[in-house]
Amino acid sequence: MSTDQADKVAGIIIIGNEILSGTVHDTNSYYLATELRDLGVLVSRIVVIPDDITVISSTTAEFSKTFDYVFTTGGVGPTHDDMTMEGIARGFSVNLVPHPELEAFFSMRYGDGANESVLKMTKVPEGASVITHKDMSYPVITFRNVFILPGIPEYLREKFSFIKENFRSAAFHVKRFYLDTREMDIAEILTRTADEHGDVLFGSYPILDNPEYKIVVTAESKSENALNVAVDDFTRRLPRAVIVKLD
């Protein structure tokens, strides 16, 4: 699918041994991908990586060069396995330094009770910015085009809700075909249509145990006109009897 020069592309990095071991079920990638799609941002890649400074540093540096926006989740707490800040600092060859706003934030919260674990959370890659809001339980840290989010889903959703409008662009237009047929019976028609309409992204998804239809075919584009032309072509080529509905 080709994209307009103004379109923005994102990469998502899920950080945590607990995800790779199956100890915790990842819901953050689904949430971010869904939200960003609704905002008109194309998510091009999602990776899950361990709590490893070397891997975090190389992955964030690569993603930052490749995508307009990078979202990391996890590894920002006070414990020994929270390595995201240090990994990002290393990936961009900058120091890890206390941020004045975070120092003030934790000083207000803990006062003289701030220990080394708390002070760890005041340190960010040098040059990082802090986004605060009166209703945030903890600020959002950004470094260049990297948005550093927590791994706990409730916290991530809270923070993303305050920054999401910064990423809004032209919306994706979507059409869905509900078809009572097998994929193999429409595969050539779908392939031909997709090949002829490069500005439209087609997807085919078999549906099990549904008495009305067996496949949902989606067509998406930021150009409503391109989408309508592709949908008309696909509809014309399909056997009329297999189309249950189109929305």
Q: Which of these, 193, 188, 183, lies nearest to 232 by C-alpha position?
A: 193
CA 183 to chain centre: 29
pTM, rounded to two decimals = 0.90
107-132 per-position pLDDT tens digit:
888 877 778 888 899 999 999 999 98
Coil, strand or helix at 157: helix
Domain residue limits, the chain: 9-167, 173-246
In sequence order, the β-bridge partners of residue 149 are 73
Q: Say if residues 46 and 11 touch (Cβ distance below 8 Å).
A: yes
Q: What is the pLDDT of residue 6?
A: 61
| pLDDT at 3 exceeding the cut of 60 | no
Q: What is the pLDDT of residue 109?
A: 80
Q: What is the pLDDT of residue 107?
A: 85
38-78 per-position pLDDT tens digit:
999 999 999 999 999 999 999 999 999 999 999 999 999 88
Q: Say if residues 146 and 76 touch (Cβ distance below 8 Å).
A: no
CATH architecture for the domain at 9-167: 3-Layer(aba) Sandwich (3.40)
CATH class of 173-246: alpha beta
Q: What is the pLDDT of residue 183?
A: 96
- Compute how many other C-beta atoms are within 10 angstroms of the C-beta atom of residue 208: 5
| pLDDT at 1 exceeding the cut of 50 | no
Instruction: Please name the residue that has the structure tokens 């509809």.
Output: 235
Instruction: Name the average pLDDT for the chain.
Output: 94
Instruction: Kindly give the residue spans of alpha helices, DSSP state H, lying in the chain.
Output: 17-20, 28-38, 53-66, 84-91, 100-110, 116-120, 153-163, 183-196, 224-237
What CA–CA distance (Å, rounded) separates 82 from 105? 19
229-247 per-position pLDDT tens digit:
999 999 999 999 999 999 9
Q: What is the pLDDT of residue 228?
A: 97
Q: What is the pLDDT of residue 196?
A: 97
Q: Say if residues 13 and 59 touch (Cβ distance below 8 Å).
A: yes
Contacts of 100 (CB under 8 A, 6+ apart): none
